[in-house]
Amino acid sequence: MADTEAKKAAAGDASPSAQLPKYLRSPIPRSIVALRQAHHADLKARAALLWQQSPRYARYSAFDKRLPGPGYLKTVANISRAQASIYFQLRSGHVALNQYLHRIAHDDERVSATCSACNISTESVHHFMLECPAYRRERHHLERLWRHRALDLRFLLSSRDALTSVLQYIKATGRFPHLGEV
């Protein structure tokens, strides 16, 4: 008989609660750890949804689809605040290059979007990192070290391995003098 009742319980047939002892009638309490894990999972899901709805997502996701979080923090953990700031600004496109300064009409309304180093093209992040002929010599180290991946802006601005060489390139261009030692 006990075996039959055990099989019924395993199949989902529960005893009527009136037949159970009083202490077994209420539902089993959830573990605090399980509740905390569920809460954190819900928070992460809501944060990811808010991030994807953010106007910054489109620009930032060109380099990294994930929400900036522990991976990014690990990447920038061993660099100065100024270096981390420039790195994030390059990734987001909100960096003091002429294209951005022209768009926001910074300081002088007559800021040209043209690169002041070469006067050939618009000074965008892509131009600054990969194309500007004025920085060809400085870019050579990246090309020698990373070969074909040195032409992939997504790799350069999202790879933890490339971070130091990217910061060295930025420092060598002299475009951001407040960068500090790399």
The rounded distance, in Å, linking the Cα atoms of 114 and 53 is 31
* Per-residue pLDDT at 102: 85
* Per-residue pLDDT at 47: 87
Instruction: Find the mean pLDDT for residues 96-119.
Output: 82
Higher pLDDT, 128 or 71: 128
Q: What percent of the chain has pLDDT over 70?
A: 88
The verdict on residue 92 lying in a domain is: yes
Instruction: Find the mean pLDDT for residues 140-169.
Output: 93
The verdict on residue 129 lying in a domain is: yes
* Per-residue pLDDT at 108: 58
The yes-or-no verdict on residue 123 having pLDDT over 90 is yes
Higher pLDDT, 65 or 35: 35
Quote the domain boundaries for residue 91: 70-179
The verdict on residue 171 lying in a domain is: yes
The yes-or-no verdict on residue 66 having pLDDT over 70 is no
Asked if residues 142 and 169 have their Cβ atoms less than 8 Å apart, the reply is yes
Higher pLDDT, 15 or 102: 102
Backbone CA torsion sign across 56, 58, 59, 63: positive
pLDDT tens digits, one per residue of 3-56: 777 777 677 667 777 887 877 777 777 788 988 999 999 998 998 888 888 887
> What letter would DSSP give residue 105?
T
Q: What is the dihedral of CA 113, 118, 121, 123, to 10 degrees?
A: -50
Structure tokens at 126: 């892509």
Alpha helices for the chain (secondary structure H): 2-10, 32-53, 57-60, 70-75, 81-92, 98-104, 125-126, 136-146, 153-158, 163-173
> Helix, strand or coil for residue 122?
strand
Higher pLDDT, 73 or 83: 83
The verdict on residue 85 lying in a domain is: yes
Instruction: Find the mean pLDDT for residues 121-136.
Output: 94
The verdict on residue 124 lying in a domain is: yes
pTM summary value: 0.68
Q: How many domains, the chain? A: 1
The rounded distance, in Å, linking the Cα atoms of 50 and 28 is 34
